[in-house]
Homo-oligomer: A and B are copies of this chain.
Amino acid sequence: MMDTPKKYKLGLEAALDVIRGKWKGIILFHLSTGRKRTHELRTLIPEITQKVLTQQLRELEHDQIIHRILHIQNPPKVEYEVTAYGWKLADLLISLCNWGEQHLDNLHGDKSKLLEDYLLLSGGQEMQVPGNAE
């Protein structure tokens, strides 16, 4: 998924590629609160399947965002952790999370703030120019 000599025109494309996947962002966010075992992640994200969890963890690992820590013992124990490199991305996700929180607030009860911005912009700019072509 990353080995392909894919041409990105924008850095953003590369970045979005890294967090593409239904759960990658969520996973990374949870790991940002500390190293987690596989099972803990499943508990934190009940909706995700084993397969997809492993899958997306592998991709994040491949992109050097997280780090897989294998403890050789019986029963096996595996932990995942954000790498120093990955933290740069994780921090952005945390910001995104904060934005999301506010966004949720806006979606719920209080729409005034959102509406305010809306009116502000549409006030002067959604003008209806009479029919003259350019």
Contact = CB atoms under 8 A, between A and B. Distances in A.
Interface residues of A, number: 61
Contacts of A15: 96-97, 99-100, 103
A49 interface: no
Copies of chain A in the complex: 2
Given A11-B102, A131-B72, A125 B81 contact: yes
B12 A73 contact: no
Contacts of A19: 16
Q: Which of A10, A25, A132 has the most C-beta atoms of chain B within 10 angstroms of its own C-beta?
A: A10
A1 interface: no
Interface centre among A12, A13, A98, A102 (most CB of B within 10 A): A12
Contacts of A83: 117-118, 121
14 contacts: A11-B99, A11-B100, A11-B102, A12-B96, A14-B104, A18-B100, A67-B122, A72-B131, A73-B131, A73-B133, A74-B131, A75-B133, A85-B118, A92-B95
